[in-house]
Chains A and B, each alone.
Chain A
Amino acid sequence: MYILKTYRWFWLILFVWIIAIALVFHQKGSVESNEIVLAAPRDIAPGPKDPYFVSSIAMVWEPLIGVDAQGSMVGVLATHWESNEDNTEWTFYLKDNVTFHDGTIFNSDAVIRNVQRWQAMRTKPSPFYSFNIKAMYPGLINATAGGDNVVIFHLKSPDPVFPERLINFSSAMFSPNSFDLKTGDFINADIGTGPFKLKEYKKNQYVLLSRNEMYHGNLAQADTIRIRAIPNADTRYAALKAEEIVGVVDIGAIPPALTRDLLKDERFALSTNNNTLNQVLTVNQSKWPFSDPRMIRAISLIIHRDDVINTYFSGQAVPYGSILNSLNPYAIPMATIYDETQAKSLAHEVMGNQRVKASLLIPQYGINRYSYKEVGQYYQAIFKELGIDVSITILEGAAHKKLVSLGQYDFSLGTMGMSSYAPEGIFRTYLAENGSMNRLYHVGYYDERAELLLNNLKTDITKEAHIIKYNELQKISSEHMPVVVFGSDRTTLVYNQQKIEGFQALTYGVSLDTIHWR
């Protein structure tokens, strides 16, 4: 008793420690053991304020039209579609016997309510694809029912590529009972029709998915999948090695250097697929000498795309040179020409014997996801041959955007992509004098013929007429370039092949529904 009383603080502290240790170990084994745990570099479920709640990677919701593993358009909740003669009305035939996770039937009324939500939201930012009704569905008047499973979209002007605008995120269908029609915000998590239900999510921590036993297609093979948000690439690497996670998903899931290292371990395998992003070098063409198209051509010619991609991207991209991404159904493959002699000659024509100083801005995300620093150094070295002395500045994302939007740069490395397959989006953004990228990033691009073609596209009724112009616009953009495209990005995912099967990288995300324990 004396010892207890005299040394009471010692005993108290000891007691607190014993309780703390007991609590710590009691909670140690709380995670279900049959869960398949994957990781993503960002939170894939931003929640109710996001236009999609959760990324399409989670396979919780489905679109009317999606893309298959090869990138071709396929009906998901729509079986087929057709238009009237002047392409101002598009009729979509919906899949039968589909229900949302909350039991609501998917039919034309559900689609109409989703369209009303789009019109009420107008714009809504998202880390996946920002929602912007004007940019995504220009000229959309409304949607009406043509039957229980038939819905008609009415447009102000002809749009022969309206279905191309609706792929994936652009036609995500949510239960009409899951959102507030006025704000577009979600009011519950029973949102989709997909093979997985959103069982639980914790912001910036994880998403827990459970199999939808009432799914209209093939059931998912795994009961439960947890996707953790692990922002640090080294930690994702360590988690893979420790077998806490069995695979990584999402863009920039694992940088090239760590991928190479992981593949030395026989437990791990790589799964890759093309995605909709292009690797580009943006040139500020509002300043001499880059205001001369010959200079941009010289820059493009001196870039040995095969060398850059093979050396610094380790399978994360393929050499490419067209403004439309390789997955786009209207893309024309352009030869990636390397001609140092002609490049030097063109630069000499523009600059004579002068040398110019130029700045190359690199966003931080490019260092985390890719090898932009090394790519920048490569450009620094080869541009010297053209008389351009490049200084490299690495900036965090917000500062990079600000400097580029102020036009305080000469070169900038980055990715470009669009949420849809409709080529007009990319063309208007980059080739039009008033295109948002042209204006916002002070690219200073102007091409008279491109301007005329873009104007004509507005009145062309048929798809054939559109395709002719798409082809010509691509040709123009390969000769008079708005940006220098040097690669087509590839989704590169690593997984533990000794633990799981059915892991296949898709054009966006992974085949979550086929993943299962070995």
Chain B
Amino acid sequence: MASYLWKKVLLAVPTILGITLIAFILLQLAPSDPALVSLTLDGTNAPTIDEIQIKRHELGLDKPYIEQYTDWLKGLLHGNWGNSYITNEPVLDMLITASFVTVLLTVFAVLISMSIALPLAIILVMSSHKTIRTSVELISIFIATVPSFWLAMVGIHIFAENWSLFPTNGYDSLYSLVLPAIVLAIPVTGNLIRVQRISLEEVRSMNYILFAKAKGLPIWHIIYKYMIRNSIISVLSLLGNYSRSLLGGAVVVELIFSLPGLGSAVLQAIQLRDYPMIQGYIVIMGIITILVNIVIDLLYVWLQPEISIGGTHES
């Protein structure tokens, strides 16, 4: 297990480096000049060419590209992620603050999603009532295809504007995250229902389920002890993928709900060509992705000990 974890971490290093290199190249190709953007933040200042050159020098943008990239990497290795071009504050501090809201929002969304998807998938599999099955199936397809921004606007209009159940925006407390998390969770829930249903149906057709029924075990016991446990692996894989896309997809939801998370921060950084912030975001997302992968792999083993990871059988 330990060697597996090491391998994962070692493999992550070139992966993150590769991503940051590609991101760096793409940023250089984008039509923009961070020095000009930084000096014209107010929309009225017209800096002279000399002032722009001085700013470029100050930000290190007049150095060769290779040097800019290696300087940034060296800083990263020494725990210095650089300062924001716009606010001049340490990027790492800004990212850590923003990560808290985004991770909380994502965890909340995953919990909501799982809590809704699992019971509905069980109803779908166990129900012999065709209308219920078709309705749940159709609803799951519909909600899986609804875009988050639309859900956010409709959610705000109904639950915040008209019914005043939730705040329209901001992050004052956990309560502020409820509506954004529901919005973020809904499309994922639709997909989870479908995958969980397929998985549960496969397990239901197994002989050990038939045996358990023949033994006269109560149905809820069979579902809880055998069906969920054995079907959850495929859902976990999907959830692993979704956790990553939820983190990324939180951008729109954070923007609409004015949440000070990673999504809002990176969106602003992209608009203002704040390269250190964008690069830092990519590293943070890389780290989170790797951590999620490791956690999912460990969950596989924990749930089904017969699964081996890292090339050796675990017992």
Contact = CB atoms under 8 A, between A and B. Distances in A.
B172 A31 contact: yes
Interface stretch (A98-106, A217-225, A394-402, A464-472): A394-402
A125 B258 contact: no
Interface residues of A, number: 68
Interface string A150-169: 00000000000000000000
Contacts of A128: 42
A36 to B, nearest CB: 15
A398 B271 contact: yes
A130 B41 contact: yes
A10 B173 CA distance: 27
A417 B46 CA distance: 10
Nearest to A418: B44
A397 B272 CA distance: 8
Interface string B219-238: 00100110000000000000
A239 B87 contact: no
Given A49-B87, A230-B169, A242 B161 contact: yes
Interface string B110-124: 010001000000000
Contacts of A202: 260
A50 B36 CA distance: 17
A314 interface: no
B37 A239 contact: no
A457 interface: no
Interface stretch (B5-13, B67-75, B133-141, B152-160): B152-160
A234 B255 CA distance: 11
B189 to A, nearest CB: 16
A205 B171 contact: yes
Contacts of A437: 46
A203 B169 contact: no
B224 to A, nearest CB: 6
A439 B48 contact: yes
B37 A397 contact: yes
Contact of A232 (B32, B111, B178, B258): B258
Given A46-B87, A231-B255, A439-B48, A402 B41 contact: no
Interface stretch (A21-29, A73-81, A287-295): A21-29
Contacts of B160: 238, 242, 244
B89 interface: yes
A93 B172 CA distance: 45
Given A132-B47, A436-B48, A440-B48, 10 more contacts: A27-B175, A228-B170, A238-B156, A238-B168, A242-B161, A243-B164, A398-B31, A401-B33, A429-B46, A436-B49
26 contacts: A20-B108, A24-B173, A24-B175, A49-B88, A123-B54, A127-B41, A130-B41, A132-B45, A202-B260, A204-B264, A205-B170, A205-B171, A229-B258, A232-B169, A232-B255, A232-B256, A232-B258, A239-B169, A398-B31, A398-B271, A398-B273, A415-B44, A429-B46, A435-B46, A436-B46, A439-B49
